[in-house]
Amino acid sequence: MTKILTVGEILVEIIAATKGDGFREVQPLTGPYPSGAPAIFVDQIGRLGFEAAIIGRVGEDDFGHLNIARLAADGVDVSGVDVAAGEATGCAFVRYRPDGARSFVYTLDGSATATLALTEAGEALMGSCGHIHIMGTALSVPGMAGIALQAVDRVKARGGTLSFDPNIRAEMLNKPSLQEKLMGLIDRTDIFLPSGNELFHFTEAADEEGAVHELLSRGIGEIVIKRGDKGATYFAPGAHLDVTAHTVEERDPTGAGDCFGGTFVALRLAGEPPETALRYANAAGARAVTEIGPMEGASTRAELERFLEDAEARR
Ligand code: ADP
């Protein structure tokens, strides 16, 4: 099958174990957990047994080694992960407020992620992978954005395909020229994976139906709208499929969209029909939220099959 490449942030996450208004109230903290949306995406693909690789940069520290070890153990090609002596691996502190909303403290700007430079191994991956996946977060880091867009150019020029998850966070929106980069990518996208209202960053349409129609007529092949505990919807020219979310105990929602996206893209590239890819992706997203730690709930194919069989038996 086509090898799937992504470019993006690799970091660790330290999580407040309980909900509360401040870090003092939510002790103890738990972690560090391997994280970074693009890293979770490829880790999920690796766990499914498909080929994936990531171009990124970590510090030569325990956090960096933790990430590389996890990705490699799950079968991800980490040859494009540069280990920078004297720099620190990015870190995110996550706290859940009493209403369940997340509050993040990031140390990405001063981390190894911010100084990503293209290595020979990264260049070789751009020249060999047949699919590239880009997340909006990668475009919000200036040096990384240039490399991500170069990877898109290289893969698409050889007839490869692009999937795009805008993954827009409030703190990204005041970064200059990000909107321009997001808009530049959308018209080259084959599989578009927005969450909820992210669709409206890319069109002036007044409602979802209009937005989907406009984006499909601009040439996007497939759109999957992720709707959290409401499930997901698939659109392609002449096709519309809905899945309802599975009922699970949500312990940590971070990473659900990446596990969903990694599963959907890998299965579509492996030739599975949209119905199957959507069903497995919906199961992968549901399983992801049941584990604390963004990458901890990534699933193997056998785990997804068992989960789907159990869900079927409960109906
Ligand atoms: P993102 O993190 O990108 O915003 P979502 O939160 O929409 O993505 O999650 C992606 C998918 O994971 C959803 O479309 C759904 O299939 C599944 N999912 C997410 N949260 C839950 C939940 N609480 N219960 C069951 N499934 C969920």
CA of 113 to the centre of ligand 1 (A): 26
Testing ligand 1's pocket by substitution, the residue of 168, 226, 258, 278 carrying the most ligand atoms inside 8 A of its CB is 226
pLDDT confidence of residue 176: 67
Say how far apart CA 269 and CA 50 lie, in whole Å.
10
Testing ligand 1's pocket by substitution, the residue of 249, 279, 289, 295 carrying the most ligand atoms inside 8 A of its CB is 289
Question: What pairs with residue 56 in β-bridges?
Answer: 81
CA of 256 to the centre of ligand 1 (A): 5
Nearest to 244, CA basis, from 291, 285, 188: 285
Phi and psi at residue 114, to the nearest 5°: -70, -15
Contact 295, 45 (CB under 8 A): no
Say how far apart CA 249 and CA 296 lie, in whole Å.
15
**Closest residue to atom 7 of ligand 1, CA basis:** 228
Domains of the chain, by residue range, sit at: 4-314
pLDDT confidence of residue 196: 87
Environment class of 179 (CB within 10 Å of its CB; exposed 0-12, middle 13-18, buried 19+) = middle
Nearest to 262, CA basis, from 182, 193, 161, 186: 193
- Looking at domain 4-314, its CATH architecture is 3-Layer(aba) Sandwich (3.40)
- Supply the ipTM of this predicted assembly: 0.99
Where does 4-135 show beta strands of DSSP type E?
Answer: 4-7, 11-16, 29-35, 52-59, 81-84, 90-96, 102-106, 131-135
Pocket of ligand 1 (CB under 6 A): 195, 226-229, 231-232, 245-246, 248, 250, 253, 256-257, 260, 282, 285-286, 289
CA of 281 to the centre of ligand 1 (A): 9
CA of 41 to the centre of ligand 1 (A): 14
- pLDDT tens per residue across all 315 residues of the chain: 799 999 999 999 999 877 777 777 767 789 999 999 999 999 999 999 999 999 999 999 999 999 999 999 999 999 999 999 999 999 999 988 888 788 888 888 889 999 999 999 999 999 999 999 999 999 988 899 999 999 999 999 999 999 999 998 777 777 768 888 899 999 999 999 999 889 999 999 999 999 999 999 999 999 999 999 999 999 999 999 999 999 999 999 999 999 999 999 999 999 999 999 999 999 999 999 999 999 999 999 999 999 999 998 987
Pairing status of strand 102-106 against strand 90-96: antiparallel
**Closest residue to atom 22 of ligand 1, CA basis:** 229
Q: Where are the alpha helices (DSSP H) in the chain?
A: 37-47, 62-73, 120-128, 136-139, 142-157, 178-186, 208-217, 256-269, 274-289, 301-314
Is the omega angle on the peptide bond into residue 237 within 30 degrees of 0, that is, cis? Answer: no
